[in-house]
Structure 1
Amino acid sequence: MTAPRRSDGTRAAILTAARERFAADGFERATIRAIAADANIDPSLVMRYYGNKEKLFAAAAEFDLRLPDMALVPADRHGAVLVEHFLDRWAGDETLLALIRAAVSHEAAAERMRTIFAAQVGPVAARLAPDPATAATRAGLIATQILGFALCRFVLRLPPIVALDRDAAVAWLAPTVQRYLHDTPGH
């Protein structure tokens, strides 16, 4: 077994600092100098390992939604389980918060968010939808609910949305996500 290289620790420190800084400041206001200061390293090391802020953001924004295995979930609970899962992921990881903040003003971040949802939610929708040809539309509609709620709760901090407890949020969102997964349009 090989010992970890010192550069592995530096890279990890940079990514941790970048995720926190992008989450706190958004893409536009986060700087390489601030990220380097947060990681207690020289800014030249950030540039050495990642090249520029866009590449650093792309590395920091690698994100696995860790979606649950929906095959193990009763069909009538699919919407609730997905909403519960997303609420837990949003509350437990600053990377998603950084992504949504950055995505509203920076095209690379928006593209990263699109890719994450298409690559990870799309296959779930394809497996569960009555017509797999509608999977991309269904995944996009699910994203409208999940991302819209996250934007209003965690970024804009709309008081009625922030005030919702987890159960109330699930109760409001789950039926819509359930419909997007299983219903035929217009029915």
Structure 2
Amino acid sequence: MNVETTPRRSDATKAAILEAARRRFAEDGYRKATIRAIAADADIDPSMVMRYYGNKDGLFDAALDIDLELPDLAAAVPDSLGALIAGRFLELWEQPPTSEILLTLMRSALSDDIVVERMQRIFAQQIMPAVLRFGDPSDAPHRAGLIATQILGLALCRYVLKLPPVVALTHEQIVADIGPTVQRYLTLGQR
């Protein structure tokens, strides 16, 4: 019986640590967040954080691990790709826990090189492969970079700076306005 409850308790402890870490990293940033503060937020001993995640870097990676779960663009109607991408990013930015993770990454990347590296990995591992499916592979980094500027600019204005006209936009308006721009970047150079 003890064998059955141990994994559950372990999973619950890990989940509490990750939730506390996400909040703490969001509030304090990577540099100021401490293992002790995260452990206190999770109501556990700091040694448990170290046991499960090794160090602050390991905890940060686990807490801010995100799968963008981009739609299969190869199966989509070609003229709808930009709208699909814009819609997917809105979903990610507005659904916990991804919304919290992305907000933490966005805020922290402005002041911390470790977070910048994390954002670059997400870009390279998840966005670039989607863009590589279209057009000339040699200009895929250029096109993916332009898409990132559009999506991250929208996120900065809507979720970090909370500019009233951008916050007031409905999902439909954003997809209708941003989708064609993302589409143009995705298929840049194609006819």
| TM-score, reference length from structure 2 | 0.87
Task: Specify which of 91, 97, 101 is matched with residue 95 of structure 1.
Answer: 101
| Percent sequence identity over aligned pairs | 58
1:73 has 2:76 as partner: yes
1:57-78: per-residue Cα shift (whole Å, max 9, x none)?
1221111000011122111010
Mean alpha-carbon deviation: is it higher for 116-125 or for 4-13? 4-13
Cα pair distance change 1:149/1:59, threshold 3 Å: same
**Structure 1 counterpart of 2:175:** 170
**Displacement after TM superposition at 1:30 (Å):** 2.9
Gaps of 5+ in 2: none
Shift of 1:98: 1.2
Matches within 5 A, 1:37-116: 37-92=40-95, 93=98, 94-116=100-122
Aligned partner (choices 142, 162, 173) of residue 137 of structure 1: 142
Using the alignment, how far apart are the partners of 1:162 and 1:33 within structure 2? 36
**Structure 1: tracts of 5 or more residues without a match:** none
Check the 8 A contact 2:143/2:188 in 1, yes or no: no
- Residues 27, 101 of structure 1: 8 Å contact kept: no
- Whichever residue aligns with residue 180 of structure 1, its letter is Y
Q: Deviations along 1:82-137, whole A, 9 cap, x unmatched?
A: 00000001111211111111111111111101110111110110102x21211122
TM-score, length basis structure 1: 0.88
SS of the aligned residue for 1:44 comes to: helix
Q: Alpha-carbon deviation of 1:79? A: 0.2
How large is the Cα RMSD of the aligned pairs?
2.0
For 2:49 and 2:90, locate their aligned partners in 1 and report how far apart those are by CA, in whole Å: 32
